[in-house]
């Protein structure tokens, strides 16, 4: 049994997309993170900060997007969304997963909120360096971790799509638009977008 704790049109949407790519059965429990005081305190039994996403899979609770992606891709290997442990591509894949949560998300949030800070003042670096890195990567490789689609692309695609088309904090660069065009052709991405639109 797989239960997904979700708030529509939030960061947890990347996990909704991943679940569609995995093609496995799952139940969705919507969490009202925008209520006064946020989600109910009882939800702390699932997530200590009352945030989404979170999953419970056969009694195992997993929180944080990169961890959820790694866990699910390994739990359902038939989907082929993660390199094997002994595959040299495993390192770049794990790096791409971690980069999405540890660098992309905080940099994009800081940009959207117009937070100003020196590059050395935070652990995630700054928005311009992140943009340069993403553009460099996606100019020479088709997907987040190389030439093959992986679970890391659920995070990268969601972040770039949201920043470009919702927040307006990502410049239109050829590498970004070409990447998102590749993602948009995937049936699971189209299913995910239909679900999100309700």
Domains and CATH numbers, the chain: 2-81+192-197 (3.40.30.10), 90-186 (1.20.1050.10)
Given a cut of 70, is residue 120 above it in pLDDT?
Answer: no
Task: Give the tens place of pLDDT for each residue, 65-113.
Answer: 999 999 999 999 999 999 999 999 999 999 999 999 999 998 888 888 7
Answer yes or no: is pLDDT of 121 > 70: no
Quote the pLDDT of residue 118: 67
Q: Which residue has the higher pLDDT, 98 or 197?
A: 98
Q: In this prediction, what percent of the chain has a pLDDT beyond 90?
A: 83
Q: Which residues of 156-194 are buried (b: 16+ CB within 10 A; e: fewer)?
A: bbbbbbbbbeeeebbeeeebbeebbebbeebebbebbee
Position 110 scores a pLDDT of 84
Residue 157 pLDDT more than 90? yes
Write the CA distances from 126 to 24, 115, 140, 167, integer angstroms.
Answer: 37, 10, 22, 17
What is the CB-side half-sphere exposure of residue 44 using CA atoms within 13 A?
7
Query: What pLDDT, on a 0 to 100 scale, did the predictor assign at position 197?
Result: 87
Residue 114: per-residue pLDDT: 79
Helix (H), strand (E) at residue 150 = none
> What average pLDDT does the structure give for the chain?
94
- Give the C-alpha separation, 133 to 129, whole Å: 6
Instruction: Give per-residue pLDDT as tens, 125-147.
Output: 888 999 999 999 999 999 999 99
């Amino acid at each position: 049994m797989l239960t997904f704790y979700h708030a529509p049109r939030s960061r947890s949407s990347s996990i909704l997309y991943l679940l569609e790519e995995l093609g496995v059965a799952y139940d969705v429990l919507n969490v009202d993170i925008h209520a006064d005081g946020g989600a109910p305190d009882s939800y702390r039994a699932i997530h200590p900060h009352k945030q989404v996403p979170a999953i419970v899979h056969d009694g195992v609770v997993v929180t944080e997007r990169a961890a959820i992606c790694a866990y699910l891709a390994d739990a359902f290997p038939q989907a082929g969304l993660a390199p094997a442990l002994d595959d040299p591509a495993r390192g770049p894949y794990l790096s791409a997963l971690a980069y999405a949560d540890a660098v992309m998300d905080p940099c994009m949030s800081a940009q959207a909120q117009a937070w100003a800070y020196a590059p050395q003042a935070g652990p995630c670096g700054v928005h311009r360096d992140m943009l340069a890195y993403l553009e460099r990567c996606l100019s020479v490789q088709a997907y987040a971790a190389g030439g093959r689609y992986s679970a890391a692309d659920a995070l990268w695609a969601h972040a770039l799509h949201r920043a470009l088309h919702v927040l307006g904090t990502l410049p239109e660069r050829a590498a970004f638009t070409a990447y998102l065009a590749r993602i948009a052709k995937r049936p699971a991405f189209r299913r995910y977008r239909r679900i999100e639109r309700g």
